[in-house]
Structure 1
Amino acid sequence: MQLFLTVKAWTYHYNIDINVDWKTARQWCQKNYTDMVAIQNHAEVEHLNQLLPFNKAYYWIGIRKIDGYWTWIGTNKRLDPEAANWAENEPNNKGSGQDCVEIYIKRSKETAKWNDEKCSKKKATVCYLASCSKESCSEHAECVETIGSYKCQCLPGFIGPRCEEVVQCRPIENPQQGFVTCDGDFGVFNFNSSCQFHCGTGFKLEGAQRLRCLASGHWDNALPSCQAVQCLPITDASDGWSMNCTHPLSIHSFNSSCEFKCEEGFELKGSNTTWCDQTGHWTHKPPTCQAVACDPLETPAKSHLTCDDPLGKFSFRSSCITTCEEGYTLRGETTITCLSDGNWSAPSPVCEVIRCDALESGQHGSLHCQDPLGKFSYGSLCWLECGAGFTLNGSNFTSCISQGKWSHEFPVCQGILKLSILFDATVGLTKETIDTLFVSQSF
């Protein structure tokens, strides 16, 4: 006798007229219905126990031991331990080879429980006709038979009555200073789609480079951002320079620029500008500032040159003093200084020989001089020779000394004859009268 029990869409079918081995039972179910019954939960077990008639040999169900695991043959799924309904101390594989399962329908003891049994034993057959069809659910679901109906069990990332709708994540826009490219089998910004982020020149990505849309409708990471590449700070003026920097994005970052300037009196060696490039390095090293140099000074003739050079020979702030040798006098500034523009504060001085006042020989004398450094100059030696009838009154020689004076008062020539007459005439005269007479007779 072949009977079936209908509960809405799911139907159970059984053959109680003849008991057959497990293989034959399955072949009968597959030929006439869907397959041997696959029990999914305890509610279904209780339902079968109520609906199926008692059979002394009991019923085969569609589960077997395959590769050591109890497996539902219709769906090829391993038995979930929570759905198992074994009798006490079962399965025990008693006698070995017990790879098939029977259900104790309406048994007085452990009713509706399962027992492992040899597949060659003869038992009644219970089948099912599935309510699921290709049209029941979308391709993104598993159609699960329930008592009296079915349900679409959505695969991760899909929703809807038939699981035909894909889960969506929040749309992603291009980050500032960057861009994003997205793709996915189920559409952009949908489940399992991915988005890859890129930054523009001079920017680097902070955060995950790639995001994936999860089945929950959330991205698997926080949105990244593009941050400007950073350069190391430039230390401030240790070499006499100062700098002025501009930071259009952030301090010491890509596109920042610094302009260098030397203090007064110094000139810049190197580039006066540097930029933070896309690699995070400055385009130029900080410059150096060297003191401005003035033209070298030569020691004037007959002089001594003494210089103080705090920043380098003949450089800015150098101060030079010129002193003349004895017999020479300085023409120009004694001290000159190297200025910030690279010029000396005054022309280089010179030492000129000292000159004494010019000498005259008088009417009755002859002037003779030796002038090694110039007429009537320092070191000149002069003497006077008087003509016939005249005699020298004073020192015969005088020389021009370093003070610009003659060493001795220059002599005069006096007439000899007139002088003796005058001496005779001076008897009884006053001193003032005598001096007057002498002066009137001198040359």
Structure 2
Amino acid sequence: MGYCKNLPLPGAKLMQFFASLGLIFSVLNIWRGTEGWSYHYSTKTMDWEDARNWCRQNYTDMVAIQNKEEISHLHNFLPKPNKGYYWIGMRKTDGIWTWVGTNKRLSKKAENWASNEPNNGGNNEDCVEMYIKRGKDDGKWNDMSCSSKNTALCYTASCKNDSCISGQGECVETINDHTCSCFEGFYGERCEHVVKCKPEDITTPDHGSVQCSNGSFSYDSNCEYSCEEGYKIKGSRTTKCTSTKEWSSRPPTCELVQCPELMKPLGGTMLCHDPKGNFSYQSTCDFVCDEGYTLRDSSSSTLFCGITGHWNDSQPNCEIVKCKPEDITTPDHGSVQCSNGSFSYDSNCEYNCEEGYKMKGSRTTRCTSTKEWSSRPPTCELVQCPELMEPLGGTMLCHDPKGTFSYQSTCDFVCDEGYTLRDSSSSTLFCGITGHWNDSQPNCEIIKCKPEDITTPDHGSVQCSHPNGGFSYDSKCKFSCEEGYKVKGSSTTRCTSTKEWSSRPPTCELIQCPALENAADGLLNCTSNFSYGSMCIFSCAEGYHLRGASEISCTETAEWSQETPHCEAHPESLVTEVTLGVAATVGSSGLLLALWILKKLRRNANKFDLNSNSETEDQPQVYKNSISSLI
């Protein structure tokens, strides 16, 4: 590919120099562009920053020198500027020279400085100019102040977006052309090919597995190895396909996890179980100390080999046991005697209590293999008898010289009236040295009377109340008789503290009113033999008037409902005639009808009796009802 010069016309002096047509034709022939990048320069001078902006605005960027061939071409191709030289795309940042556009650092190999340069002679000389047709150090670089005025030197890029496979290579501009600089692991004109490693070099270790990132085994592919539980990797856990077509590491192996070897302790035994191998993963070792020795240096008597290759605790050891002498204390109201003064394994101590005190805890203790006494010191507690309760229906009075319900306490029991002592042969209990009362707890039982002694009288009934339960002390029974009968005897009885009823059951006797006799100058007619409910009707002979009620009845109090009436002399009247006429006609078979007729006639007679008063009027309704009941 040819160069794309496309250079602008130089200044007036240069045009005069090319005055002849032949020379102009030659220059035009040089300017004719061909495919590839092209160089351009400004007609005016400017500082480095303006020069770069001008290049980026009109072309691709400021020229970044690629190689010596390019420098030679530019020296032959470019005219000597009227003032200064040409700016190139290099600048110092934080003391480091870098190429613009790429920000790549200037390497030692690529340096093209003039003699004794860079020297920062004018201070702050952070930009670079290139000598062209200077006559000395042509094509070389000189560091200059970025504010100096030079000609801008630009280029138009040849590389396109698709010149190289994206992500696999970088397009590099060359004179008249470009090339693809392939990234590591890629090759080809456009970096279209990728390096591949041998899949057969990836093998699965025993007791392990391998997982690869993709199935192509191409450059930068990763494979990761893992081991089964209880096995650990020996070698690299990962490997990667490199640009040399080789894997970065060989396949590892999986080795059984191994814990440090354990030793049988002095004064004890060790028993191990190794499902996979001696002192390996999942091995367990149990340690037991001989009698009189105790385990130390470990918090567990069983060690387990874990997945990390460490035991769950340190190696146990056994040492002879000694118990703490300060743990043997003399109880209050007691004493202690020990077999020896060393308080070592199997030493014995015996405790005793004073009379009236009993031991709470073990009487003896022994120094055991756990460095502990077999039991804690006992206490001597005052002998205590079971608590007594004041009985229901009684009282309890106790005397406690040492403590409530304790040794030598006495309790007296007395039952209330209506209650009797039971469950004990004595009313006084004594708390003995064994912690037992001399007899059982007395209780008070309520007295009960015989229910069969309560009988229901003929023509009567009985109703009982039991405040303390059936037929017990203070139960009461009340007797009552049917209508027309009265109680003979006590109507109530009560269960007494003697277990007897206060009275015998009564009887029910028929209520009997006093016998009545015929009144002088009158007539008496009764329904029955003067018993409860009997009704008697009185009438007077002719010429007599009845003083009092004409009808009386026998009440439940065994008394007549009214005072007995009597006949008094009376003037002749219709009432007397009628009364006598009716009385003469009344027979025993027509008594009821006669009673009704007499009643009507009496009402009519009262209308004509000038001397009649309230005493002769009908008596209260109760007597009318008595007559109605007879009818």
Q: Give the greater-gyration-radius structure (CA).
A: 2
Q: Where is the helix percentage greater, Structure 1 or Structure 2?
A: 2
Q: Higher strand share goes to which structure?
A: 1
Q: Which has the higher contact order (CA 8 A, sep 6+)?
A: 1
